[in-house]
Amino acid sequence: MNWILTPFKIIGNYAHTFIRELGRMVCFLATAFFLVAFPPYLLRRIVRQINFIGVKTTLVIVLTGSFTGMVLALQTYYALVKFGAETSLGPVVALSLIRELGPVISALMVTGRAGSALTAEIGIMRISEQIDALDAMALNPYKYLIIPNLLAGIISLPLLNAIFVVVGVWGGYAVGVGLTGVSSGTYFGGIRDFISAKDILEGLYKSLSFGMLITWISCYKGYFTGYGAEGVSKATTQAVVLSSVTILIWDYFMTSILLT
């Protein structure tokens, strides 16, 4: 009889662990947002984290943005030529970057560069009792460690996304106009005609939510890290994998909602 029950037990255990972990994560986020309303507001720490998450990721964003735009223009041009629609190169590149690639790739870059570092930093603070030290000084660790990162993520991601899109469009321009021979007026004229505020807003909503997701998951994994170096290493890996997977899943749902 046991062999029949065992698979159900395993599935049940996984489901139980998943729901419990999700519940803890939601409580963690709710506590952080509840505490945002109360002083101290620690603006200097928020600015410092914007520098860490946003400013220091700019170079990576510029590099990935430009090459994404370039390869997108190259691939799209060869597809459009088959239909005689190469004049649509500008709007196709811009739409893809604004609605999809900009928010997703910039979020994945931030996850790799800043999210992993956040988890490791908070995790090390946990295992070396620095978080307990804050608590012992009657200072709320959420105020000092979690809220500045959450707000910095929410502020930085849309800005990084904007940089990614602009650089990507210019990268597409360099390939489209410089290599394939599409005229400059056609490239930018099409973008002006076909891109609406709704498209830009979709990208903005996505990057705002990704900013929150990355910092939420990274801070949570660091705050509740396991013991020792192995615990921090596992937490960092989990944070990067979970953030990346969640970004892609959340992106699908947001796209399906925003397109309707």
Tell which one of 10, 15, 85, 133 touches other proteins (CB under 8 A): 133
Residue 128 or 183 having the CB closest to other proteins: 128
Task: Identify the residue whose tokens are 């969640």.
Answer: 246
Task: For the CB of residue 132, give the shortest distance to other proteins in the complex, in Å.
Answer: 6
Instruction: Check binding of 136 to other proteins (CB under 8 A).
Output: yes
Instruction: Check binding of 36 to other proteins (CB under 8 A).
Output: no
Residue 53 or 98 having the CB closest to other proteins: 53
Instruction: Check binding of 37 to other proteins (CB under 8 A).
Output: no
Q: Which stretch binds other proteins (CB under 8 A): 17-25, 63-71, 93-101, 134-142?
A: 134-142
Q: Which stretch binds other proteins (CB under 8 A): 29-37, 57-65, 121-129, 169-177?
A: 121-129
Instruction: Check binding of 193 to other proteins (CB under 8 A).
Output: no
How many residues sit in the footprint of other proteins (CB under 8 A)? Answer: 13
Task: For the CB of residue 144, give the shortest distance to other proteins in the complex, in Å.
Answer: 8
Q: In Å, what is the CA distance from 103 to each residue of 46, 66, 139, 183?
A: 22, 14, 35, 28
Q: Which two tokens stand for residue 52?
A: 């860490």
Instruction: Check binding of 129 to other proteins (CB under 8 A).
Output: yes
Nearest to 244 by CA among 108, 55, 139: 108
Tell which one of 132, 185, 201, 229 touches other proteins (CB under 8 A): 132
Q: Name residues whose C-beta falls within 8 Å of residue 225's C-beta, 6 or more positions apart in sequence.
A: 119, 122, 123, 126, 127, 231, 232, 234, 235
Instruction: Check binding of 21 to other proteins (CB under 8 A).
Output: no
Task: For the CB of residue 131, give the shortest distance to other proteins in the complex, in Å.
Answer: 9
Site for other proteins, rule CB under 8 A: 40, 124-125, 128-130, 132-133, 135-139
